[in-house]
Structure 1
């Protein structure tokens, strides 16, 4: 018994000693130590950047810590070119709040911008961009700035965002552009359904992006997928209000990177404008969309549950009406059920110059007001298997 007890004490002592070494080797930089004050009135941008700079200079994994409270932040640029540390965690227990005057960040493009960083993780916290006044300006038709994306990652690798809440963004909430290996988990996006251009998560020119266990309520696309996105995995997403999950708009440029290998599974759309959509401009392009899987989706009173729109041309402006040049192929819709808010629940409006091919329907069951819905096809080819309601028009 004595030997066993001594062994337990030895093990506990070793664990304590080891953990003490790890804590000592992995420093934490509290933004309050660099002058940040909570309350949401004092500009904490310089304090945050000072803590970031200290973490970048550390030779071991480091943490930038934001304690509970509200911290006013102007535009902040996190430059990876001058950062030697590839393992920085930003732990947020409080709220970062943008200035109430939307002009302060409204013309900058991004509020919190990370560029060329590697191994950055953001855990917890809330971003409140206070975008309501800018939305009102846009909706009034007055001249106002375009607005800033709340959190943007450019040309970065091995990014992780876990447990973040983004509220009331002026424009996009989260942007992933030119990145490799980004994981967004337990993210919550919140903005009213009438907030313009407030896409929840936008991904473009990026590969290896995963979005899981997240909830997006906003005024535009819950997730929008732009040119150059590949190997994208979206799972267990709740969307609504919003415009659904959209691949596109694509094909604005003649030589534009395509979208491929996208999986969307186990998602619920509630009262959204669209469910899953592929959208391309009605203009010449060499782009493509291929190898897409939409699987295990629930539609609850969705206006356009399943839609391909290759004749996108708002207000009939800047479109030569020559047909979309984006080639859409190998798109599978499997186990999609629920209710449509319009009679046409499945609509494939494909390009007259480059028709859709390889569309697969398997186990689609959508109704309209407890009645049979309908499907519409134009320039679309493919197959249907299992129960397909409305009846396939492919």
Structure 2
């Protein structure tokens, strides 16, 4: 099979005090982005009902507050999130709700699948990591919020995932710095509208996954924050990035380890080091931008 590699990159410098780069796609049309196994009609709006026992249009609503989350930014809400996850993941057509206007302190956690049915994770509040490296659980030295072995899951909302990375950045040579949001060994995943900021290291990792569509996501950390890649794609295929704004201290997007069929449209990068590819390629490798 022939190696197919098409790269189109256009840089747009704006006069707003910071260089901003816009990646245009003249090849991969939006219709191609919609060709993955991710269905728009499965997206639903945030609910007002406060309890997981409530339903809306046949969806079971699982509110983290109903499982004891305080949402004050100081109390440890990890166990409430774990309990809410177990309920949502074991339910058919569930919505796991992180409510607006609240700030949840959550330690490093692995959210394990597979789940019983299609799941929506509606993040409208703020999820914040512990700010002190010494408080980190050594069992999770490289990941903070790790979602593993999921199928047909939608992450959406207007909320924030905040890695509280400043003290990690000041110890930039420290080994095993943590990544903020990881989706691992999963398929048919949709991520829309979230803000991921101030990660200890990489903000959003897509690993060993297939058919992942990311749109209207904002990734942000200071320009001098070390090794804070925006979106890192490894060993994954059929990944589409659309209308994302990324400003970090390292690569806006990094693609490694024979990832294939990566499609991008309207990726705004600045500050950051642009798009990096470590071309450990298979013959099926194709990047369209």
TM-score (norm 2): 0.76
Checking the alignment, whether the CA contact within 8 Å between 1:157 and 1:179 is kept in structure 2 is yes
State the 1:119 CA deviation: 1.2
Report the equivalent of 1:241: 271
Q: How does 1:62-101 map to 2 (within 5 A)?
A: 62-68=94-100, 69-81=102-114, 83-85=115-117, 87-101=118-132
- How many Å separate the matches in 1 of 2:284 and 2:143? 24
Quick one: structure 1 residues 191 and 106, their matched pair in 2 at CA, closer, same or farther if it must change by over 3 Å?
farther
Q: How much does 1:103 deviate?
A: 3.2
Q: Quick check: which has more Rg, 1 or 2?
A: 1
Q: Is the 8 A contact 2:62 2:87 kept in 1?
A: yes
Q: Separation in 2 of the partners of 1:106 and 1:191?
A: 23
Say if 2:223 and 2:247, in contact at 8 Å, map to a contact too: yes
Per-residue CA deviations over 1:277-302 (Å, capped at 9, x if unaligned) read xxxxxxxxxxxxxxxxxxxxxxxxxx
Q: 1:134 aligns with which of 162, 165, 168?
A: 168
What is the rounded CA distance, in whole Å, between the counterparts of 2:211 and 2:185 in structure 1? 11
Q: Cα RMSD over matched residues?
A: 1.8
- State how far apart, in whole Å, the 2-side matches of 1:53 and 1:47 are: 10
Going from structure 1 to structure 2, the CA distance change for 1:244 and 1:90 (only over 3 Å counts) comes to same
SS at match of 2:151: coil
TM-score of the pair, normalised by structure 1: 0.56
What's the offset of the Cα at 1:259? Answer: 7.1
| C-alpha distance in structure 1 between counterparts of 2:96 and 2:260, whole Å | 31
Give yes or no for contact 1:96–1:127 (8 Å, CA) kept in 2: yes
Matches of 2:269 and 2:137, distance apart in 1: 26
Distance 2:137 2:200 in 1: 7
For 2:78 and 2:55, locate their aligned partners in 1 and report how far apart those are by CA, in whole Å. 29
The secondary structure found in structure 2 opposite 1:196 is: coil
Equivalent positions of 1:97-136 (< 5 A) are: 97-105=128-136, 108-124=141-157, 125-136=159-170
Q: Which consecutive residues of structure 2, in runs of 5 or more, have no partner in the other structure? A: 1-53
Give the whole-Å Cα distance in 2 for the aligned partners of 1:261 and 1:106.
Answer: 38
- The answer as to 2:174 corresponding to 1:149 is no
1:33 matches 2:66 = yes
CA distance in structure 2 between the aligned counterparts of 1:109 and 1:258, rounded to whole angstroms: 31
Q: In structure 2, how many angstroms separate the alpha carbons of the residues matched to 1:225 and 1:240?
A: 18
- Counterparts of 1:182 and 1:225, CA distance in 2: 14
Who is 1:202 aligned against?
Answer: 232
Structure 1: tracts of 5 or more residues without a match: 1-20, 265-394
Task: Name the SS of the counterpart of 2:171 in structure 1.
Answer: helix
Structure 2 CA distance for partners of 1:177 and 1:47, relative to 1, 3 Å: same
Q: How many residues align?
A: 232
After superposition, the C-alpha distances for 1:145-170 in whole angstroms (9 at most, x for unaligned) are: 42111000111001111011011100
**Highest relative contact order (Cα 8 Å, sep 6+), 1 or 2?**
2
Residue 25 of structure 2 corresponds to none
